């Protein structure tokens, strides 16, 4: 135990025995060693304590006042268990630094590194910070415990330098990672979650957490590209990664591999091993602690197939945070982004950002909310006012969907009542907080469909390529569903997906024209109904395809006369009509066909749109005619850009207010 001790350390141990007798102690503990180090002249402990104006009497007073309740075993010469642990650690540090003998520097650094000791308790009572003392020690001796490899990035060092983004919440994941890392076996956690849910941020948060709970631990990020770069000859990669892992100290160093599925096959060539097979023996013998991160799809596609590698990790599934959790995250990081862009942002706007990003379905929280915040502040910085507004947030959100917010607003004012589009739709579509469902329109004539399609493309600046024509007469067989969703697993073309779903993934804002709905197979009809009801479907690859930013136009090409009113009519479109937001008829509608019961329902529906009217039921035809004439006059009086002459038949009125 007391081998390879330098002369200074031997004198310090003799000083410990003198202090024991002076203080009338039954043992020699770490607090006695700390005082002996201070009393030894020219020691690093004496130098640092003098810098912090710490005296011998201050240390003795704390020792006399404190009663240290410890579970210690009495060794030879009455040394405590923690004292022996510090001696062993000092021997190890001397070997790592290529020193021939243990010096007082090794003893003092061992005291700073060993947790739950009386000496550390005294240092805290003296008002000293352990991390600051360690940094002072490293600066004086130019000592570095950091592994110096180009392909390793020390996240703990970046956390000390405050170069990592602020981390808020997600405490349960940090606690779970900490429990797994300190297990005896299978102490390698694997973070599994969708892209953008914050897997890498959780590891950075763990590095920050360890600054206070485990300051001796370093977390290193492995850059696979730099690791493999330059390994021209067979065996180069094996030698490089083996040397790196052998320099790791399992109790102090943790390796983090993002996109860990890439290690399968990485660096392999004819006659050589890939990175995964190189790591397996080290992981099985617990020679290294490793944190991995991957997505659920890539885990099942690549990682899980290698059973020997997968069983060495403990899975931690990371879920997308809720809106409330995302709001707390934004509140925690807003000062960082606001100071960077020099633009102020209020908590109310953060709440608006979280709601606004709900229409971006191709990405996950909190990643998309943070990106919108960053880009919105950048946009606000370009204006003289340097103030973030909801309009700027809307502009950024629309740009994520490939839409030009300014052009849409201009087209909206210009074509507000053009052809078949109503103000009700625009208010519904442009307010990002209201984008909950799909807009469905049924047209009873191809000419009506063309007019509506032209309106949508004009207002929303949509190109012809976003229009998807779906003729369901071509989907009369059940197997044709693979054309929409892709081939099922095990069939040819499974990896390619369906043409329909690929179109929506490429163009989130699309116009889908469905014709000949009545000819489709029942399974195809059910698929369409599920889209209208839920707003999304899952393809055979497990991807969630959202349609909430799409327009559905159903064209009824039948020759039958269009019925009006609110009667439950049994026809091919009975279920479909229940999901339609608007029915557009090609022919003028006869108000006289409204029954008194239908009339009452119609008045109620008008009230839902904000028209507060009170008309007599007995004279409903004349009252409704007068009301429509007045409303039509008011509408077109507000649109002088498009002068339109309206003529009415005495028995018919165009009813466009629904």
Q: Would you state the pLDDT for residue 410? A: 64
CA distance 412 to 375: 25
Q: What tens digit of pLDDT does each residue of 432-464 get?
A: 332 333 444 444 445 555 656 666 666 666 777
Angle at 403 between CA 397 and CA 406, to 5 degrees: 85
Q: Would you state the pLDDT for residue 265? A: 64
Q: Would you state the pLDDT for residue 645? A: 38
8 A C-beta contact, residue 105 and residue 140: no
Give the mean model confidence (pLDDT) for residues 254-270. Answer: 74
Give the mean model confidence (pLDDT) for residues 474-497. Answer: 77
Range with top average pLDDT, 49-53, 99-103, 174-178: 174-178
pLDDT at residue 273 greater than cutoff 80: no
Range with top average pLDDT, 137-146, 380-389, 577-586: 380-389
DSSP per position, 138-193: HHHHT---S---TTEEEHHHHHHTT-SPP--S-HHHHHHHHHHHTSSSS--EEEE-
154-155-160-163 Cα dihedral, nearest 10 degrees: 110
* pLDDT-derived band at 212, boundaries 50, 70, 90: confident
The Cα-based distances of 526 to 103, 444, 500 in angstroms read 79, 22, 16
Q: What tens digit of pLDDT does each residue of 312-321 get?
A: 888 999 998 8
Residues 6 or more apart from 588 whose CB is under 8 A from it?
A: 649, 652, 653, 654
Higher pLDDT, 398 or 419: 398
Reading the block at residue 78, the tokens are 């009455």
Average pLDDT in the chain: 74
Residues 6 or more apart from 211 whose CB is under 8 A from it?
A: 131, 156, 159, 160
Q: Would you state the pLDDT for residue 317? A: 92
CB atoms within 10 A of CB 43: 20
DSSP 300: I
Q: 3-state SS of 118-141?
A: HHHHHHHHCCCCHHHHHHHHHHHH
Domains of the chain in sequence order = 7-141 (1.10.1780.10), 152-317 (3.40.50.300), 323-400 (1.10.8.60), 422-587 (3.40.50.300), 590-658 (no CATH)
Looking at the DSSP assignment, which residues form a beta bridge with residue 469? Answer: 513
Range with top average pLDDT, 97-111, 127-141, 303-317, 632-646: 303-317
Q: Would you state the pLDDT for residue 202? A: 92
* pLDDT-derived band at 68, boundaries 50, 70, 90: low
Higher pLDDT, 168 or 435: 168
8 A C-beta contact, residue 546 and residue 361: yes
The Cα-based distances of 158 to 8, 204, 293, 653 in angstroms read 36, 9, 20, 72
Task: Identify the weakest region by mean pLDDT among 276-290, 467-481, 491-505.
Answer: 491-505
Q: Would you state the pLDDT for residue 507? A: 83
Give the three-class secondary structure for 46.
helix
Higher pLDDT, 283 or 451: 283
Higher pLDDT, 351 or 431: 351
pLDDT at residue 295 greater than cutoff 80: yes
Counting every residue written for the chain, the total comes to 658
pLDDT at residue 652 greater than cutoff 50: no
Give the mean model confidence (pLDDT) for residues 410-423. Answer: 49
CB atoms within 10 A of CB 24: 6
Strands 551-555 and 439-443: parallel
Q: Would you state the pLDDT for residue 148? A: 63
* pLDDT-derived band at 602, boundaries 50, 70, 90: low
pLDDT at residue 141 greater than cutoff 50: yes
Residues 6 or more apart from 626 whose CB is under 8 A from it?
A: none
Task: Name residue, tokens 């039954």.
Answer: 26
Q: Write the burial class of residue 267 (CB in 10 Å: 0-12 exposed, 13-18 middle, 19+ buried).
A: buried
Give the three-class secondary structure for 471.
strand
* pLDDT-derived band at 189, boundaries 50, 70, 90: very high
């Amino acid at each position: 135990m007391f081998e390879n001790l330098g002369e200074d350390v031997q004198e310090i141990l003799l000083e410990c025995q003198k202090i024991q007798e002076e203080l009338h102690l039954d043992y020699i503990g770490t607090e006695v060693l700390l005082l002996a180090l201070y009393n030894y002249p020219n020691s690093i402990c004496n130098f640092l304590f003098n810098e912090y104006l710490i005296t011998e009497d201050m240390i003795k007073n704390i020792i006399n006042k404190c009663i240290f309740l410890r579970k210690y075993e009495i060794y030879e010469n009455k040394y405590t268990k923690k004292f022996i642990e510090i001696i062993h650690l000092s021997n190890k540090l001397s070997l790592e630094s290529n020193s021939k003998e243990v010096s007082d520097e090794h003893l003092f650094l061992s005291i700073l590194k060993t947790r739950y000791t009386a000496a550390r308790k005294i240092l805290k009572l003296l008002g000293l910070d352990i991390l600051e003392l360690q940094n002072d020690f490293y600066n004086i001796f130019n000592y570095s415990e950091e592994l110096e490899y180009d392909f390793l990035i020390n996240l703990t060092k970046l956390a000390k330098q405050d170069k990592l983004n602020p981390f808020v919440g997600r405490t349960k994941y940090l606690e779970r990672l900490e429990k797994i890392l300190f297990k005896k076996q299978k102490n390698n956690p694997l973070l599994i979650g969708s892209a953008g849910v914050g897997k890498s941020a959780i590891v950075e948060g763990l590095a920050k957490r360890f600054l206070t709970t485990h300051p001796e631990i370093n977390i290193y990020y492995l850059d696979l590209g730099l690791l493999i770069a330059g390994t021209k000859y067979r065996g180069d990669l094996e030698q490089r990664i083996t040397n790196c892992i052998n320099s790791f100290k399992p109790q102090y160093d943790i390796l983090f591999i993002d996109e860990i599925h890439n290690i399968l096959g990485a660096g392999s060539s004819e006659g050589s091993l890939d990175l995964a097979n190189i790591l397996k023996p080290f992981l099985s013998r617990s020679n290294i602690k490793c944190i991995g991160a991957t997505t659920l799809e890539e885990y099942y596609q690549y990682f899980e197939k290698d059973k020997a590698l997968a069983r060495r990790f403990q899975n931690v599934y990371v879920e997308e945070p809720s809106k409330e959790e995302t709001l707390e995250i934004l509140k925690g990081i807003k000062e960082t982004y606001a100071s960077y862009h020099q633009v102020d942002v209020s908590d109310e706007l953060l709440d608006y950002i979280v709601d606004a990003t709900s229409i971006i379905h191709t990405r996950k929280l909190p990643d998309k909310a943070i990106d919108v915040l960053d880009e919105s502040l950048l946009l606000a910085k370009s204006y003289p006012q340097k103030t973030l507004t909801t309009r700027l947030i809307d502009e950024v959100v629309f740009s994520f969907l490939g839409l030009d917010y300014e052009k849409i607003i201009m087209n909206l004012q210009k074509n507000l009542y053009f052809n078949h589009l109503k103000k009700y739709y625009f208010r519904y579509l442009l307010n990002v907080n209201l984008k909950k469902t799909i807009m469905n329109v049924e047209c009873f004539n191809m000419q009506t469909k063309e007019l509506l399609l032209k309106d949508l493309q004009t207002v929303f600046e949509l190109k012809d390529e976003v229009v998807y024509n779906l003729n369901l007469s071509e989907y009369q067989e059940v197997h044709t569903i693979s054309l929409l969703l892709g081939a099922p697993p095990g069939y040819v073309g499974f990896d390619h997906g369906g043409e329909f779903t690929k179109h929506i993934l490429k163009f989130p804002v699309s116009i889908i024209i469905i014709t000949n709905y009545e000819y489709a197979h029942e399974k195809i009809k059910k698929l369409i109904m599920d889209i209208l009801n839920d707003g999304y479907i899952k393809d055979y690859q497990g991807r969630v395809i959202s349609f909430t930013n799409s327009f559905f136009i159903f064209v009824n090409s039948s020759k039958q006369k269009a019925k009006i009113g609110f009667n439950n009519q049994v026809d091919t479109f009975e279920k479909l009509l229940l999901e339609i937001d608007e029915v557009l008829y090609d022919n003028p509608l006869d108000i006289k066909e409204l029954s008194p019961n239908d009339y009452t329902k119609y008045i109620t529906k008008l009230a839902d749109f904000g028209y507060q009217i009170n008309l007599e039921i007995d004279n409903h035809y004349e009252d409704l005619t007068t009301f429509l004439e007045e409303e039509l006059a008011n509408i077109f009086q507000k649109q002088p850009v498009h002068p339109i002459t309206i003529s009415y038949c005495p028995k018919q009125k165009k009813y466009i207010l629904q």
